[in-house]
Amino acid sequence: MKTFHNEAEPGQIAKTVLMPGDPLRAKYIAENYLENVICYNRVRGMNGYTGYYKGTAVSVQGSGMGIPSMGIYCYELYHEYDVDNIIRIGTAGAVSENVQVGDLVFAMGCCSNSNFAAQYHLPGTFAPIADFGLLESAVEKARIDQVRFHVGNIFSSDVFYEDQKGEKGVWAKMGVLVQEMETYSLYCTAARAGKRALSMLTAGSSLHSGRALTNEEREQSLDMMIRCALKLAADSMEKNV
């Protein structure tokens, strides 16, 4: 059961896993939101935890930065640990003028400049999407909590520091909401495994306003996203969506 990247024993990982990019954020969630927590993984500093949120077993583990890192961890969770649902909770840069700093974004679909899907040898271009059940439930919870949110297409990039400026603006013309670096491999891997995935993102900065979240705003916005994800995780186990 143990892999090169995960030392969890059978049964230690819940059916639903929340995945922030930063392993320290995973630690924060485990310590502040979960009860009866165990740490099941410490390999490469990518700590993973399982605990209980309102009586429901939930795991949380970092994915690391970038499409390849997410691809490794979500593949092992789906295939080696029989995880059913992965909910990415991360930050992104707003490329749409309609997305304000601090807004929550649910990734219905994901564009990319990555070659990740080439491994499947498909006779065309694959368009990875979220699981509708998870997406629908997440939107319902955001509405109940009166959270400002958007649903739509996002862009996962292999590049953080662009050599040629202006790429983000081109994607905005196609209705893309935000740019980040992990969702594409998550959605592709989930599709191939026949499992479920949803990426929910907090806009941490904006291409148009040039503004970024302050430390206080970041804490408030991320906590709002975390609470939404935990409610979704608990609901997904009750409804088996």
Q: What is the pLDDT of residues 157-179, one digit of tens each?
A: 999 888 877 777 789 999 999 99
Q: Could you tell me if 157 and 164 are in contact, meaning their C-beta atoms sit under 8 angstroms apart? A: no
Q: Where are the domains of the chain?
A: 16-239
**pLDDT value at 241 more than 50:** no
For 45, 76, 189, the CA distances from 29, given in Å and listed in that order, are 16, 21, 24
- Least confident piece of the model among 66-70, 73-77, 163-167, 230-234: 163-167
Q: Could you tell me if 59 and 49 are in contact, meaning their C-beta atoms sit under 8 angstroms apart? A: yes
Report the pLDDT averaged over residues 107-127. Answer: 97
Q: Could you tell me if 76 and 83 are in contact, meaning their C-beta atoms sit under 8 angstroms apart? A: no
Amino acid at 187: Y
Fold of 16-239: Rossmann fold (3.40.50)
For 34, 44, 90, 121, the CA distances from 199, given in Å and listed in that order, are 21, 24, 8, 25
Which pLDDT belongs to residue 48? 98
Which pLDDT belongs to residue 239? 58
**pLDDT value at 28 more than 90:** yes
**pLDDT value at 78 more than 60:** yes
Q: How far apart are CA 225 and CA 210, in angstroms?
A: 22
pLDDT tens by residue, 119-155: 999 999 999 999 999 999 999 999 999 999 999 999 9
Tell which residue, 179, 201, 220, 228, has the closest CA to residue 91. 201
% of the chain exceeding 70 in pLDDT: 97
